Chain A
Amino acid sequence: MTSSTSVSPSVPALRRGGEGGADRLVQWGTWLLVIVLIFGPIVPVVYAGFVDRPLYESGGILTLGNFAALAEDPAFWAALRNTALFALFAAVPGVVIGAGLAVLVGRTDLPLRRALSVVMVAPLLFPGLGVTLGWVTMYSPSGFVSSWAAGQLGSTPWNLYSIPGMALVTLEKTVPLVYLMVRARLSALDTSIESAALTAGAGPARVLWTVTLPMLRPALLTAAILIVMIAFETLGLPLILGGPVDIDTLSTYLYRTWTSDPERQGTVSAAASGLLLLVTLLLWLRTRVEGDGGRYTTAAGKPSAARSLHLRALRWPLVLLVWCYALVAIVLPVVGLVMTSITNIFAPGVSPWSMLTSRHFETVFSNAALLRSITNSLLIGVVGAVLATAGLTLAALVAHRSRFRLRASLPPVLFYPRALPGIVVGVGTFWVFVLVAPLEPLRTTVWGIMLAFIVRNTAVGYAAIHSSLLAISTELDAAARTSGASWLRTCRDIVVPMLRPALAGCFILMFVSLLNDYDPAVFLVTTGNEVLGVTMLKQWAAGFTGPVAALGVIQIAITALAVSIGRLAWGVRPRA
């Protein structure tokens, strides 16, 4: 052992004592923060459903009276029935079209697949209200396409202001979601099973129908559940299209009762709890189906070079059909939105080119409230995305990289907000600010809205971090721990630096989500803390569609900019 001196033993010993004290503090703190933020807004909503008077009055007695009152309200049942119909009309075509497109792009030799793929997912980044306005300019009874169709056919065969009409407009958002989910599923499937069927003599259509489709069943089911969840919680769309013709869905029923009849807050809360329960069940169902999906996995690892089925004679007709769909459902509404923002009147019979104006943009930039809604939304987007990314990173590290006792409870909690309807978060946040005195000053600020938005969108950001974190070998942090680094130090020096691209992805996705969200804010907005979506909703209700369109275009522009930066710099992509 003569040369044992080559590793000299004079390295200072590590400090003893306080073993992992800081680590444990951070872990408990993170866990508590997550639990309080996510369940905080739910508690008052559920509680308010079970007491006999508004929460701000003391001495409430527990009761089921609110539920009884709800059950006696025919408007509630009508709204429930409408929502169910709406969900059905949205889910069936959404799944069929989305899955069909995914199979065509992912599995066949359809020409122009790549371009189609980009166009298909673009609507995910469009602000909901702006796009709805676009649909109205084109397909409402006085819209461009409708008038043209009426001229050709004598009458318009569709009516946007109806439940099927609302379902039609949701296709804008749901088809890309289904498309992404099915594409993901397809790329996990081995194409060799299809090749096997082909060599066994089956034609391409038959292979798709008998081999590919059954393998996709779990993905189709989860997609359908997702659409039903969206249908139940979406607020803006039914408010705009259903409002004028007195069609209430569950969420608009809640919204209207809340805003018009303060006496009935208990009933609203009861209905909101019911809605929450329903959507939670749907989420649970979705997770179950996804979990079972493993059964359908054919092979581990990458599929052998993806083979595509030859469409032969069907190629060109299908291309035509697919691009017609893209034109009708994606391009025209955006054109409508943009034209509305740059013309005085955008209506059939008037040449838009003679009506060009920059007036709406001028209004937006000169009207303090409108301008403020842009700056507020940007502020919420940037600050919220930074805070959310930091918080979610910590939460993900505690959940997946620590030995914290309650770590296993974090992932389901962080994914749970997928099932939180915006209205519930909004009402709940409102109640928290009203009831918890120290938080009261937040109620009228952008920060309150920011909190509500963050809570509602945690799943988006968490999913972005989660998958990358799981891809980093735990031996890398184990090596740092045994080298002498505490948990926190390991996270800081080893895990977080390797996670950087995912964190950038999380930031961009959170920014976009926070910028475009508005449901929870309708209960929190007052003068001074306006955000884009709510301002658009109010302007529209007041009849000023020009500024709404201008705001929508601005929103699309900001989103597109953020996403391109993310995509160019870190390869960020939208996901379901």
Chain B
Amino acid sequence: MPDITVSALGLDYADKTAIDDVSFTARDGEFLTLLGPSGCGKTTTLMSIAGLTNPSRGSITCGADVLFDSARSVNRPPEKRNCGVVFQSYAIWPHMSVAENVGYPLRLRKVRKPEIGSRVREALAMVGLDALADRYPHQLSGGQQQRVALARAVTYSPGVLLLDEPLSNLDAKLREQARGWLKEFQASVGLTTVFVTHDQDEALAMSDRVIVMNDGRIEQEGAPEDIYRRPATPFVASFLGSANLLDGTVDAPGRVRLDGGGQTVAVPEDGPLGGVQVMVRPEDVELMAPGADPDVAPLRGAVTSRMFVGSSYRYVVDCDGQSVTVSARERWEPGPVRLRVDREHCRLFPRDTAAGVAGSDRLEESSYA
């Protein structure tokens, strides 16, 4: 399977730049995810690869094939790109049976009838739908339609598989199952896959690599653990999981004085200087009794609210005017507490990049919602 390389891709609409300077490579057999909030340009990027949107600049190559290159005015039409695409709505053709849907790409490639039959059966068996070959789309559930779409996208051995939020139409339970199933399927077929989602759990669970996009640009690119543990920007920090972002100033290497009361926290030493934001995730903060040893739990604060979220409690702790969200299994009553912050898991961002934070100093709740 070839690599897909996107370089310096940009697309301008009359009143808006949908994507700008997007570059990445999806390596052979890799499961690459484009993750970002609604309207950040994920679909635009994906559909540019498929040839369904015309970018304004940049280039896209698939192995040695140039699919699009604005400088050389190459723009191969979608039918000549050999991409397998699964659309958000699945786009199963309602006037064709399941088998006809899956066999259509083969018919276009002039494959002989008996072979079409056997390949369709093979593909449907792979997605576990061999019994439903003669049904029509309206007789299928959402999950089954999604599998038909997938089978249709892979029967003709496309060079790359493009998936645009294929799980977003499923209910929560089914989505969970489909996630595991899809990942397995992709690994077994070994297709280079570009997957688009705005669901961070999905991205973290399924991908080999994740590209986080924001407002038409790439924010960060890396393995799931990597970007979760070491977000490059406050935006990434708060878009993936929840993050506390505390304002402060570095007054010595490895020490930040927080705005408000002037309490200090220990942070890793390799960071920016001057005005910073300290990022720490709720699960990396520990609540301790007000009488705890200040060396172990240096921050003073007061629990202002508590929410039961099933596996744990979520607390909001007021720390000299900045609120810190803490996730803990023990039950604490509102009132004074001490906080222990896991130094290794803190990240520092220079204060001026804070402009791009999703939801600014509010905590992003998505992972617990």
Contacts and interface: CB of A to CB of B under 8 A. Distances in A.
Contact of A11 (B109, B187, B189): B109
A438 interface: no
Interface in A474-515: 475-476, 478-487, 489, 493-494, 497-498
B60 interface: no
Interface residues of B, number: 47
Contacts of A6: 122, 126, 188-189
A304 B262 CA distance: 58
A14 interface: yes
A366 interface: no
Given A19-B77, A478-B52, A478-B85, A484 B157 contact: no
B95 A497 contact: yes
A4 B111 contact: no
Interface in A386-437: 403
Contacts of B106: 11
A482 B78 contact: yes
A312 interface: no
Interface in B71-90: 76-85, 87-89
Contacts of A10: 157
Nearest to B83: A482
Interface in B324-341: none
A458 to B, nearest CB: 27
Interface in A231-265: none
B110 A12 contact: yes
Contacts of B108: 14, 483-485, 489
Contacts of B87: 475, 478-479
A484 B52 contact: no
Nearest to B104: A483
Contacts of A479: 85, 87, 91, 93, 149, 152
A3 B188 contact: yes
Contacts of B122: 6-7
B29 to A, nearest CB: 7
Contacts of A484: 79, 82, 105, 108-109, 156
Contact of A7 (B91, B109, B157, B187): B157
A481 B78 contact: yes
Interface string A1-24: 101101111111110100110000
B105 A483 contact: yes
A482 B76 contact: no
Contacts of B78: 478, 481-482
A371 B202 CA distance: 73
A476 B91 contact: yes
Given A4-B189, A7-B157, A493-B104, A482 B85 contact: yes
Contacts of A12: 109-111
A401 to B, nearest CB: 12
B165 to A, nearest CB: 12
Contacts of A476: 91, 93
B50 interface: yes
A475 B91 contact: yes
Nearest to B125: A6
A386 B210 CA distance: 54
Interface in A1-59: 1, 3-4, 6-14, 16, 19-20
B94 interface: yes
B26 interface: no
B89 A473 contact: yes
24 contacts: A1-B29, A3-B188, A4-B189, A7-B123, A14-B79, A19-B80, A473-B91, A476-B93, A478-B47, A478-B85, A478-B87, A479-B87, A479-B149, A480-B93, A481-B51, A482-B50, A482-B83, A482-B84, A483-B104, A484-B105, A486-B77, A489-B108, A493-B104, A498-B94
Given A478-B91, A484-B156, 17 more contacts: A1-B187, A7-B191, A11-B155, A12-B109, A14-B82, A403-B54, A475-B91, A478-B47, A478-B85, A479-B85, A479-B152, A481-B77, A481-B78, A482-B50, A482-B153, A485-B104, A493-B104
What are the 4 closest A-B residue pairs judged by CB atoms, nearest first? A4-B190, A479-B91, A483-B105, A475-B91
